[in-house]
Amino acid sequence: MTAGGADEMFFKNLDDLVRHYKRKNRGLAMHLRHSVKRKTAMLIQSQKRPDPPDPPEEQGRQEPGPEEEHDYE
């Protein structure tokens, strides 16, 4: 609970926060003043074209994806 008695909410990213408060009767009572500092720099990358499909002998092997890790302080 926050000091005002409301449940504390966390958002994975800015898009989720904006989407939540754009819903009807969900506006902010206060302006957002402080950003959360990241431990690491965020790189903005352009969208890449999809890679060509793997040859048939490599389709069975799949590399494990990186686990989601947050770098917020």
| 15-51 tens-digit pLDDT | 888 888 887 777 666 666 777 777 776 666 666 667 7
Please give the model's pTM, rounded to 2 decimal places. 0.32
pLDDT of 25: 74
19 within a domain of the structure (yes/no): yes
73 within a domain of the structure (yes/no): no
Q: Tell me the β-bridge partners of 38.
A: 72
Count of domains for the chain: 1
12 within a domain of the structure (yes/no): yes
pLDDT of 63: 56
6 within a domain of the structure (yes/no): yes
24 within a domain of the structure (yes/no): yes
Contact at 8 Å (CB) between 58 and 52? Answer: no
- On the question of pLDDT at 59 being above 80, the answer is no
pLDDT of 23: 79
Full domain range(s) for residue 10: 1-28
User: What SS3 class is residue 38?
Assistant: strand
